[in-house]
Each structure stands twice: as C-alpha cells, then as structure tokens.
C-alpha cells in the first residue's frame, strides 16, 4: 500500500513521460482492454467515476471522486490486480497519480505536436493542474517565457512565483502570440476565444466539466486525442467534442507508431483534447509500485 506522499516520492516525471508513450502505443495498437468508464452521480454535481482496464499482466481499477464542496475536491485510489489469480497486488493513492499523469500526457502531446522552436508557454488555470503543467511542460521544450493566467489574479501570481521564468498575466494577454496554450481549468464554459490563437500555436486542454467545458468548440485546427473514445458522450468522452466526426482526429499512439502524422506545417494550429484514460493510470501505478518494491517503500498488508 502506498500513500500520497510515498507515490509523490516514487514517481519520476521524466520516466512517466516515457511510460506514457509506451502506453499510448499499446492503446492505439489494440493491446489495452478498457471497458467504458462509469459514473455514479450525487446531489450538487458530485460524482464517483470508475475506470477499469488491463494491459499485459496488469489489471487495474481507478476510482475517482469529485466533490466541489470539499478540499481537495478531486480524490482517487488505484488498485492493481494479478491477471492469473485476481489477487490485489497493490492499492495506492491515485490523487497525485491523476494530477501528474494528466499533465504529463499533455506534455507528451506538446512534445509531439508543438513547433520545435516553441519558446512561449501560456498556462490558463492556477490550481492543481496548473501547478503540474508548470512542472511537466518545461521537460519537453525550453520555454523562455511562461505566462500564467487565471480567473483569479492572485492565484496566477502565487503560481508564477514558484518558477523563475513565469509571470502572471490576464488570460487574453497570456494567450496572444503564445506558442503553446495549455488550458488547465475546471471551467464549465470556454476560457479563451479562437481569435486569440495565433497560427502555429499548439493548444492543449485537460479540463472536464460537462455538459460544456473550457475549450471553445469553434476553435479551428487539427485535433488529437488519447483515444477516439473521447468522442463518446460523457462520462466516457469529452463534452467539447460532441458532434465532431471521430475520423477527423488522430490518436497520440498513432503518431508514436508512425501510423499517422502529427503537425504538418509551421502555421498549423494543433489541438489536444484530453479525456483521461486508464492506461495512463496503469503505467503510472506500475512505475510507482516497481520503485516501491526496489526501495522497500510503502506497507505490506495481508488482506
């Protein structure tokens, strides 16, 4: 068993980027079994989300709860199970896993899709995901300027103060002429306008707040997703992709496998819309548990 502090110490962001790439290859290559995620809704918009899946010798189930009235609002646990016996191999905190793997997957997409000369990053959102984007995105590009924006200016200033190249700006100022725009909010309506996005920009969106969300539906560009399940109605897919033809999108794994192209030219606007997939939790949990076994971290419990 691993608690949040232990998982935080065991997960290396760079190793996770490599593991996620392998996971997305497996996903697009048909090597992952993952039934549709399911949801239990409660009063006040709270919900419990179940995400089961299998890759190779690992079966896993992540359970996420979102209660906006609580602090923290997002909590998660992950169980790993033996495919031969069904026994629970590990039970770990999934809250930090979710935060890190979401931003790391978006960073991986940025590495695949942003221009090689991208030097200006705009992060919209100064909460948990904003902080983790500030950690992972500089691993894939040498950003000379990082602009942090939020609906609450004091939150943007607080987050920007944690990085030497970051400074706080309004959302519109941050997004204009940025090479990479990373949306990391829980907004129920779009937080940017398409007119603010310059040619050649890579736009990333990880927010989830159906029936709408942070990404404007009329933003024109080439669309990339973790899996085409993103086009299913929530809770399986993303609200912002409702009505969009799945065949117009490319999976990250298809790029990594050489099946389809990513960015085609310097002026192209590329858009990554995340839905979150259990393969990301599987590879992250496997990394944490393997490192715990190597170092002796965590507690051994007989059920």
Residue 68 has pLDDT above 90, yes or no: no
CA 16 → CA 29, 104, 182, 229, 282, distances in Å? 19, 7, 19, 23, 11
Please give the share of the chain, as a percent, with pLDDT higher than 70. 100
The answer to whether position 92 is within a domain reads yes
The answer to whether position 240 is within a domain reads yes
List all residues 6 or more positions away from 49 whose beta carbon is below 8 Å from its beta carbon: 37, 38, 39, 40, 63, 64, 65, 66, 235
Res 70: pLDDT: 84
Res 229: pLDDT: 93
Quote the pTM value: 0.95
Q: Are residues 161 and 232 in the same domain?
A: yes
CA 114 → CA 127, 256, 291, distances in Å? 23, 15, 31
Q: Are residues 67 and 121 in the same domain?
A: no
Domain holding 234, by residue range, is: 104-276
Strand partners, 60: 53, 80
Burial bucket for residue 299 (CB in 10 Å: 0-12, 13-18, 19+): exposed
What's the count of helices (H) and strands (E) in the chain, helices before strands? 8, 14
pLDDT digits (tens, 9 = 90+) for 154-194: 999 999 999 999 999 999 999 999 999 999 998 999 999 99
The answer to whether 76 touches 62, Cβ cutoff 8 Å, is yes
Res 45: pLDDT: 85
Res 162: pLDDT: 97
The answer to whether position 300 is within a domain reads no
CA 70 → CA 48, 102, 155, 208, 211, distances in Å? 14, 21, 19, 17, 21
Strand partners, 179: none
Q: Are residues 73 and 152 in the same domain?
A: no
Q: Are residues 133 and 258 in the same domain?
A: yes
Q: Per the structure block, which two tokens stand in for 50? A: 């179940």
**Which CATH number characterizes residue 21's domain?**
3.30.1780.10
Q: Are residues 130 and 251 in the same domain?
A: yes
Question: Distance (Å, rounded) from C-alpha 292 to C-alpha 43?
Answer: 38
The answer to whether position 222 is within a domain reads yes
The answer to whether position 64 is within a domain reads yes
| E strand residue ranges, 108-237 | 120-124, 145-149, 166-168, 180-183, 202-205, 222-225
* 25-38: average pLDDT: 96
Q: Are residues 86 and 235 in the same domain?
A: no
Residue 10 has pLDDT above 90, yes or no: yes
The answer to whether position 303 is within a domain reads no
Question: How does strand 270-273 pair with strand 249-251?
Answer: unpaired
Residue 210 has pLDDT above 90, yes or no: no
* 139-158: average pLDDT: 97
The answer to whether position 35 is within a domain reads yes
Beta-carbon count within 10 A of 72 CB: 11
Q: Are residues 61 and 205 in the same domain?
A: no
Q: Are residues 20 and 146 in the same domain?
A: no
SS3 of residue 128 by DSSP? helix
**What is the length of the chain?**
303
Res 44: pLDDT: 86
Q: Are residues 57 and 195 in the same domain?
A: no
Question: Distance (Å, rounded) from C-alpha 154 to C-alpha 248?
Answer: 39
* Total domains in the fold of the chain: 2
Residue 76 has pLDDT above 90, yes or no: yes
Q: Are residues 19 and 113 in the same domain?
A: no
The answer to whether position 88 is within a domain reads yes
pLDDT digits (tens, 9 = 90+) for 222-258: 999 999 999 999 999 999 999 999 999 999 999 999 9
Q: To which H or E segment does residue 101 belong?
A: helix 95-113
For 107, phi and psi rounded to 5 degrees? -65, -40
Q: Are residues 123 and 206 in the same domain?
A: yes
Beta-carbon count within 10 A of 155 CB: 17
Q: Are residues 174 and 59 in the same domain?
A: no
């Amino acid at each position: 068993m691993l608690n949040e502090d232990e998982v935080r110490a065991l997960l290396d962001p760079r190793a996770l980027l490599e593991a996620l790439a392998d996971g997305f290859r497996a996903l697009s290559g048909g090597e992952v079994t993952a039934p549709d995620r399911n949801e239990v809704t409660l009063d006040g918009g709270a919900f419990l989300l179940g995400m089961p899946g299998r890759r190779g010798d690992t079966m896993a189930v992540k359970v996420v709860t979102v209660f906006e009235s609580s602090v923290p609002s997002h909590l998660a646990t992950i169980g790993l199970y033996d495919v031969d016996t069904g026994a629970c191999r590990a039970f770990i905190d999934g809250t930090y896993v979710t935060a890190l793997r979401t931003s790391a997957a978006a960073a991986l997409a940025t590495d695949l899709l942003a221009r090689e000369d991208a030097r200006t990053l705009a992060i919209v959102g100064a909460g948990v995901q904003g902080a983790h984007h500030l950690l992972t995105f500089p691993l894939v590009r040498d950003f000379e300027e990082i602009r942090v924006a939020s609906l609450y200016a004091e939150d943007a200033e607080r987050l920007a103060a944690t990085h030497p190249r970051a400074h706080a700006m309004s959302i519109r100022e941050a997004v204009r002429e940025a090479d990479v725009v990373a949306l990391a909010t829980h907004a129920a309506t779009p937080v940017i306008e398409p007119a603010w996005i310059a040619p050649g920009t890579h736009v990333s969106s990880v927010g989830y707040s159906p029936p709408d969300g942070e990404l404007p539906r009329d933003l024109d560009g080439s669309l990339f997703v973790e899996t085409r399940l993103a086009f299913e109605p929530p809770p399986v897919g993303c609200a912002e992709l409702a009505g969009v033809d799945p065949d117009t999108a490319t999976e990250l794994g298809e790029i990594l496998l050489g099946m389809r192209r990513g960015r085609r030219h310097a002026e192209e606007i590329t858009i990554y819309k995340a839905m979150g997939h259990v393969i990301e939790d599987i590879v992250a949990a496997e990394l944490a548990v393997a490192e715990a076994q190597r170092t002796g971290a965590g507690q051994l419990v007989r059920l």
